[in-house]
Amino acid sequence: MALSKQEREQFLAEPHIGALSVQEHTDRGPLIVPIWYEYEPGGPLTVHTGPEARKAHAIHAAGRFSLLVQRTAPTVRYVSVEGPVTGTSTVDREQTRLLAARYLPAELVADFVDYQHTQLGEHIAIHMQPQRWISSDLGAF
């Protein structure tokens, strides 16, 4: 059963691990990687990555990407979005903290922020405006 616009946007706004997909080469399947993301209903979807990461280069070349999120309990539900990149920006420590706080226990957030900024280096935020949606709730199994 397809989700309503409100249901799919609310589900996407929850902190699921996303599967980012972007066409990297024309002679093989897309690059697909797990990723944390940010989304507020009606707004852009944002992912963070290193500016020299494969996914960053592929997204910039393609100008768009897709993201799939799912859960298996209490029901099998998924939302897939695809759309154009609307911009990029540099990620600061506060933005890293906010994203990490969506996914990590509070006591691990500060260590993650320090790790990213000292060990992984600069990150960028890539913003995508969802244009195409596929969603479903298949019920409980």
Write the CA distances from 115 to 10, 97, 124, integer angstroms.
Answer: 30, 11, 16
Task: Give this prediction's pTM.
Answer: 0.94
Contact criterion met (CB below 8 Å) for 35 and 20: yes
pLDDT in tens, 68-78: 999 999 999 99
Residue ranges per structural domain of the chain: 5-91+122-139
**Residue 139: pLDDT band by 50, 70, 90 thresholds?**
confident
pLDDT in tens, 22-31: 999 999 999 9
Q: What distance in Å separates the CA atoms of residue 109 and residue 134, rounded to the nearest whole number?
A: 32
HEC-encoded secondary structure of the chain: CCCCHHHHHHHHHCCCCEEEEECCCCCCCCEEEEECEEECCCCCEEEEECCCCHHHHHHHHHCEEEEEEEECCCCEEEEEEEEEEEEEEECCHHHHHHHHHHHCCHHHHHHHHHHHHHHHCCCEEEEECCCEEEEEEEECC
* CATH class label, 5-91+122-139: mainly beta
Q: Read off the pLDDT of each residue in 11-16 and give the average, rounded to a whole number.
A: 97
